[in-house]
Amino acid sequence: MDFRQKPRERAMLEHVGHLSVEAARKFGSREALVFEDRTFSFAELEDLIGRAAAGLEGIGVGMGDVVSLYASNSWEWVVSYHAVQRLGAVVNPVNAMLTQPELEYVANDCAAKAIILSSDHHDRLDGLKAHTGVSAFVSFAAKPPKGVTGFGALINSGRPVPTPASVPPDALSTIAYTSGTTGHPKGAMQPHMAVLLNAKSIFLMQGRHTDDIGFSALPLPHVYGNVLMNGMFLTGSKLVLHARYEAEKALKAIEKYRITIFDGVPTMWMFLLSAPSLQASDTSSLRLGCTGGQTIPVSVLERIDAAFGIEMHEVWGMTEIAGAGSSSVSGGLHKPGSAGVAFPYCEFKVVDPEDVTRELPRGETGELMFRGPLVMQGYWGNQAKTAETIEPDGWLHTGDLGSIDEDGCIYVIDRLKDLIITGGFNVYPAEIERVLAAHPSVALAAVGRQPDPVKGEIAKAYVILKDGAEADAEALMYHCRSNLAAYKCPRKIQFVTDVPRTSSGKIMRRELATINDEPEELALAS
């Protein structure tokens, strides 16, 4: 055997721009993507990606240029993402929920050369043209506005299809902006190696394979949705992609396409469990589930097990590592409530939040730190924030409070910034949410902070009841008192029909205070 060929073979998977080429070579006519009942094979996707890359090249996009993708889930999004990577350009996946000022800030901050957007965002074009340096616009619309290239014209330019650009694995692949909960959002710089290794790792650790059919309504601009898309190309599996999440439509898709893997943030699973048609739906094809983005109550995991009887994986991740960084292992030790163990070549430690030089023993709670090849290169154009977030020896501050047990399993308690200090006691919203979610009448619970003149701040719970269920605030408070120390119990409970969520479905705790108070809320005495 000629071992000299091996480095070349490995290199084919070290650049995201090679993914669709290799997938088409390996899997050809095999079904790859289903979107709105339209099915694409790997060969068809590769053909579209090559033609889209040619079109982008024709409007001036080249090596190192930044292209913003500002649209909801669609097959065009998938094609555009990989076409940009084919050219050695840099993808800027933009949350489709961004406002005009936020979008303009991001486009200017990363010096985007082009923006690819959907027709529902055409009202942003005038502002983008006037207030940014973007020179080219592409729309998914069949009839784009004047001065905007239509996607149809892009993929039918007639230009020769470019071969994948030659870029090293540590070259910049993606600039993904964080949520910007404090000040302006920051652009995490993800190299090709991190993007690919993340998708490889989660599919390997969870035993996902070629014959799997996955379901996702997770936003493609979000790292979780992005990992699933790239994993499809890596493994030759099929992905059923929805534009947005609706539990009833998800159940219909599971039955129609014989879905084997369901991925979703905890709120997606909670709404799936509360869907009226769940009992009548055929979900027997499911074999594996996965959740991440926020902590999930163990009681919800128990309900998932009772409803589906599937192997369930919890993951931990963040934008700054291009996706997940830990997972339980298929066929291995599963500990409900744990986000599993570190991905290959990566490691965790727990430090004192007040003194990061002091590593804490196993079992103690502190800030989780992460190190390995998945860690971003830094924040785009922001050396100060990069230095605050990545230590000189490579350890990344996650901003999560958690612990590591004797088996190396990760337990995430809450976001450090979401910690509520009430009367001098530390209260973790996720702990209250876990207890409330265990109540048989509760579909979803979210806990935020509220200023208080005596205690400084208090915990307030916002509760969505299951369809047809009944419970009053006193009953829920009694449930909390029975399962939590007195200081941990919420001081107020309000019943709501929905809570603020991100595009990926994660609860936006800092936005809970924007919900108007209702007269039926229960306020406890101090």
Tens-place pLDDT, residues 105-143: 999 999 999 999 999 999 999 999 999 999 999 999 999
Residue 493: partners with Cβ closer than 8 Å, 6 or more residues away: 460, 461, 463, 473, 476, 477, 521, 522
Of 140-149, 182-191, 319-328, minimum mean pLDDT range: 182-191
How many distinct structural domains can be found in the chain?
3
Average pLDDT over residues 223-251: 96
Give pLDDT, residue 9: 42
Confidence grade of residue 3 (pLDDT, cut at 50, 70, 90): very low
378 shares its domain with 296: yes
The angle that helices 298-308 and 429-437 make with each other, rounded to 10 degrees, is 40
470 shares its domain with 405: no
What is the rounded CA–CA span in Å between residue 500 and residue 505? 9
CATH number at residue 511: 3.30.300.30
462 shares its domain with 406: no
Look at residue 11 and tell me if it is in a domain: no
Give pLDDT, residue 521: 52
208 shares its domain with 328: yes
pLDDT higher for 111 or 15? 111
CB 149 within 8 A of CB 66: no
Average pLDDT over residues 280-288: 97
105-108 long-range Cβ contacts below 8 angstroms, 24+ apart: 105/184, 105/185, 106/68, 106/177, 106/185, 106/187, 107/68, 107/132, 107/133, 107/134, 108/132, 108/133
Query: Per-residue pLDDT for 92 more than 70?
Result: yes
Query: Per-residue pLDDT for 7 more than 60?
Result: no
Of 106-115, 160-169, 316-325, 502-511, minimum mean pLDDT range: 502-511
Query: Per-residue pLDDT for 93 more than 70?
Result: yes
CB 365 within 8 A of CB 403: yes
Reported pTM: 0.84
User: Structural domain of residue 495, as residue ranges?
Assistant: 419-523
What is the rounded CA–CA span in Å between residue 270 and residue 247? 9
Give pLDDT, residue 179: 65
Look at residue 20 and tell me if it is in a domain: no
Maximum distance among all alpha carbons in the chain? Answer: 78
For the chain, the C-alpha Rg in angstroms (whole number) is 23
Q: Residues 434-481: pLDDT tens digits?
A: 889 999 999 999 999 888 877 778 999 999 999 888 899 999 999 998
Give pLDDT, residue 180: 52
Look at residue 16 and tell me if it is in a domain: no
Tokens at 442, concatenated: 């509760």
438 shares its domain with 406: no
Average pLDDT over residues 184-209: 95
366 shares its domain with 510: no
DSSP states of 263-328: E--HHHHHHHHT-TTTTTS--TT--EEEE-SS---HHHHHHHHHHH--EEEEEEEEGGGTEEEEE-
Give pLDDT, residue 410: 96
Look at residue 95 and tell me if it is in a domain: yes
Give pLDDT, residue 457: 84
pLDDT cut 70: percent of the chain above it? 95
Give pLDDT, residue 522: 53
> Which residue, of 400, 416, 432, is where some domain finishes?
416
122 shares its domain with 238: no
CB 323 within 8 A of CB 296: no
Look at residue 19 and tell me if it is in a domain: no
Give pLDDT, residue 424: 67
Tokens at 196, concatenated: 């690919």
pLDDT higher for 267 or 152? 152
- CB count in 10 Å sphere of residue 399: 15
Give pLDDT, residue 322: 96
The angle that helices 75-86 and 19-27 make with each other, rounded to 10 degrees, is 110
What is the rounded CA–CA span in Å between residue 256 and residue 289? 18
Query: Per-residue pLDDT for 12 more than 50?
Result: no
CATH number at residue 319: 3.40.50.12780
Query: Per-residue pLDDT for 148 more than 90?
Result: yes
What is the rounded CA–CA span in Å between residue 356 and residue 250? 43
Look at residue 401 and tell me if it is in a domain: yes
Give pLDDT, residue 183: 62
263 shares its domain with 386: yes
Look at residue 159 and tell me if it is in a domain: yes
Average pLDDT, the chain: 91
Q: Residues 382-406: pLDDT tens digits?
A: 999 999 999 999 999 998 999 999 9
Beta-strand runs (E) in 95-170:
114-117, 136-139, 149-150
90 shares its domain with 107: yes
505 — alpha (psi -120 to 50), left (phi > 0) or beta?
left
Give pLDDT, residue 413: 85
Look at residue 405 and tell me if it is in a domain: yes
